[in-house]
Amino acid sequence: MEIVVASHNPGKVAELKKLLEDLPVKIYSLDDFEVIPEVIEDGETFQENALKKARAVFAATGKITLADDSGLEVDALQGAPGVRSARFGGEGLTDHERNLKLLEMLEEVKDEERGATFQCCLAIVGPRNLEKVVNGACRGSIIRQPRGGSGFGYDPIFLPGEYGHTFAELSPEIKNKISHRGRALEKAALFLDGYIYSETHK
């Protein structure tokens, strides 16, 4: 079975491939297709954006599509940057620049008030009206200086509650077990496992 991961982000695609490696599927990314219409993620929720992206890519490729929208919700910023995490601070900024911008905004916030949650909504869209949405979350806090060289996005400044290391300091194996995306993917993998079984035993 062929599945398209609706992303150009190599870090995200690598994470998803790792999490789905036990399933009998061939995985593509958007980079494997010459023409995919750009999807404007203008929804007000992670679910709206994930479904919009998955529906558009399925329509363009005809293959089961797995699309996620995820972001960081910071308590002291009333849930921002949230659905605008990838565009936080303006277009064209690097991940590092976004991290520094966020840390600057939190400079006066006490350590005990720097709580944050990574959220992930993952949509699966396919033939015969297949649509499934799953969610995952990871609670933690925002540290004062970036730490670690792996991961992407806000990983260097997010300290998950279970560990004394940022997402960017953890091994991919540990991060995938506890991350918002890992938890959503675990649910998606269970669903796809059942879906593949039912499709091959008709």
pLDDT per position as a tens digit, 9-33: 777 777 777 777 887 888 899 999 9
pLDDT of residue 22: 80
The set of catalytic residues is 69
Report the alpha-carbon distance of residue 162 to residue 140 in Å, rounded. Answer: 8
Report the alpha-carbon distance of residue 185 to residue 136 in Å, rounded. Answer: 8
Report the alpha-carbon distance of residue 94 to residue 103 in Å, rounded. Answer: 14
CATH pick for 2-200 out of 3.40.1280.10, 3.90.950.10, 3.30.70.260, 3.40.50.620: 3.90.950.10
In this prediction the pTM is 0.88
Task: Give the CA angle between residues 171, 175, 181 to the nearest 5°.
Answer: 145
pLDDT digits 0-9 by tens, 183-196: 998 898 889 888 88
Confidence of residue 35 (pLDDT cuts 50, 70, 90): confident
The domain ranges of the chain are 2-200
Q: Give the mean pLDDT of the chain.
A: 91
Strands 115-126, 64-74: pairing is: antiparallel
- Please say if the pLDDT value at position 97 is more than 90: yes
